[in-house]
Amino acid sequence: MEKSPDAFRTISEAADELDLPQHVLRFWETRFSTIKPLKRGGGRRYYRPEDVLLLKGIRHLLYDQGFTIKGVQRILKDQGSRYVVAIANGTPLENLVPLPSDSEPDLDEGPQAYVEGRDVAETHQFASEPVIQALDDEDREKLGAVLRELLDCKRILERAREGS
């Protein structure tokens, strides 16, 4: 009998679904603070559906995209869990670009919101949450140029700090 998609998963069920050994999931818990399965008597782990999606996103970033653990930790810190969940749901990385928000998210309060492929005007109802939307090639090129310029500025600042 197959479980409902909303059912909690044991570590063996989650590991089977992700095609990973159980010890990898335990190890990831030590490296990614956002992975917090429920623990019952005897330390038995139960993964919520959103935990499994987060694990899928982490697995994709590590194994398919070639990120390091530190790289994925950085993505989780900077972009939030929902960004990684969106990746697990099949949204291509290049289509996920966070738009600025009024305040930095508190990662302890939960993952950031994301909206993939929506118009910014459509998302004003979510104004208190950061928004992610797809970029076209022209916007991606402009963003790349800005990034290169920022990196040049960073190098200049680092050199100035070393000289003082």
Q: What is the pTM of this model?
A: 0.56
Residues 49 and 121 in one domain: yes
Give the domain range for residue 156. Answer: 137-164
pLDDT in tens, 103-162: 343 333 333 333 334 333 333 333 333 444 566 788 888 888 888 898 888 888 888 888
Residues 126 and 144 in one domain: no
Q: In this structure, what DSSP letter does residue 64 have?
A: I
Whether residue 2 is contained in a domain is answered as no
Give the CATH number for residue 78. 1.10.1660.10
Query: What whole-number distance in Å separates Cα of residue 131 and Cα of residue 98?
Result: 6
- What backbone phi and psi angles, to 5 degrees, belong to 89? -80, 0
Residues 106 and 151 in one domain: no
pLDDT in tens, 1-42: 578 878 999 999 999 999 999 999 999 999 999 999 999 888
Q: How many CA atoms lie within 13 A of 59 on its CB side?
A: 19
- What backbone phi and psi angles, to 5 degrees, belong to 76? -60, -40
Q: In this structure, what DSSP letter does residue 67 have?
A: -
For residue 115 the two structure tokens come to 């909206």
Whether residue 3 is contained in a domain is answered as no
